[in-house]
Structure 1
């Protein structure tokens, strides 16, 4: 079988294809590296049209990481996708979804486990970097928590995926009502790979 085997050549050809086919003109230059990695993670160049964010998100994320901030992830798949060698050695990657008390907390709050897990972020949320790649209810709950006067993270990278609440939660984030630097992909598309790819692109300059 004949196919491209050299990893450097595969990467070069992949990113050349993105450069040729993806229109990033609507995005500020500060977001281009993350947008390119988001497109690379899903193989869809038309994703570019749905990517939205604050150009300050890259600098805010890097500053937070340099200051020792934790990275709060909504699920294990997001955490697994993070390239640790790009981060300061003592960076904590935190997932609370599988903590023992989460199911009972979800029942008491009348919400999902993903949303309830966000409640457990409160002690570490101030100045943290938030990554959400799976659950729209996690993003909704985070926005509610902050809007009610809760701790404010340094940056939010959110790409929850799905047919119920994904588009709505990300549109709410993109409205800018929180005044927190963010990066998202509007609409139904998203996923853990896209969220972690965006973060990896931003954090690799650490």
Structure 2
């Protein structure tokens, strides 16, 4: 069930402006919802050409979230941006990292150990967190209905997102260096707030 409060008039006006500048009518419903919310959040219509998502993966992620599946984020900033439900923050679970393993990657490893099946993952900060999540899945340690893989950075972000897309995991990502907590949270919020989506 969608527990979202009434939409503020400023948000309604913002979406009207967005839709006057960007035609998303040819996109499937959940893909459209994700694209529009990321564009709305960033005030940057160029996101529309950079996001990569499969409608069936978005449907599976939405269904899992609405059914109460755990939501795991890499950092608190992503969790704070998801306004409709709580999340477990992987970084908060991080033990002292092993040599060669970042704290973000260590947190993901710990979170995978706690939530190996059925959780939805939203990575919006560290490319090493996403790379570790993909490694865990490749090792058979993780089964998920959806990974929101939108970390940001000049080092490793493009490669981590490419590895996610190549992994076969159900995912939404982008092709470039940009990303971040706000857009990762926006993608999750889009799924939670989508109207009339199956």
Tell me, what secondary structure is at the counterpart of 1:125? coil
CA distance in 2, matches of 1:185, 1:123: 27
Equivalent in the alignment of 2:51: 51
Provide TM-score, normalisation by structure 1. Answer: 0.83
- Map 1:8-157 onto structure 2 (within 5 A): 8=9, 10-24=10-24, 27-84=27-84, 87=85, 93-99=87-93, 102=95, 104=96, 106=97, 108-121=98-111, 122-157=113-148
Equivalent in the alignment of 2:178: 189
How many angstroms does 1:22 deviate by? Answer: 2.6
Provide TM-score, normalisation by structure 2. Answer: 0.86
**Number of residue equivalences:** 187
Structure of higher CA gyration radius = 1
Equivalent in the alignment of 2:189: 200
Equivalent in the alignment of 1:171: 162
Provide Cα deviations, 1:54-90, integer angstroms capped at 9, x if missing partner. Answer: 1112221122124331100000000000112xx5xxx
Tell me, what secondary structure is at the counterpart of 1:40? helix
Tell me, what secondary structure is at the counterpart of 1:98? helix
CA distance in 1, matches of 2:163, 2:26: 20
Q: Is the 8 A contact 2:66 2:192 kept in 1?
A: no
CA distance in 2, matches of 1:32, 1:41: 14
How many angstroms does 1:98 deviate by? Answer: 2.8
Q: Is the 8 A contact 2:152 2:177 kept in 1?
A: yes
How many angstroms does 1:173 deviate by? Answer: 1.5
Q: Is the 8 A contact 1:27 1:52 kept in 2?
A: no
Tell me, what secondary structure is at the counterpart of 1:171? helix
Equivalent in the alignment of 2:4: none
Distance 1:30 1:96, change over 3 A: closer
Q: Is the 8 A contact 1:61 1:203 kept in 2?
A: no
Equivalent in the alignment of 1:162: 153
Taking only aligned residues, the RMSD between alpha carbons, in angstroms, comes to 2.0
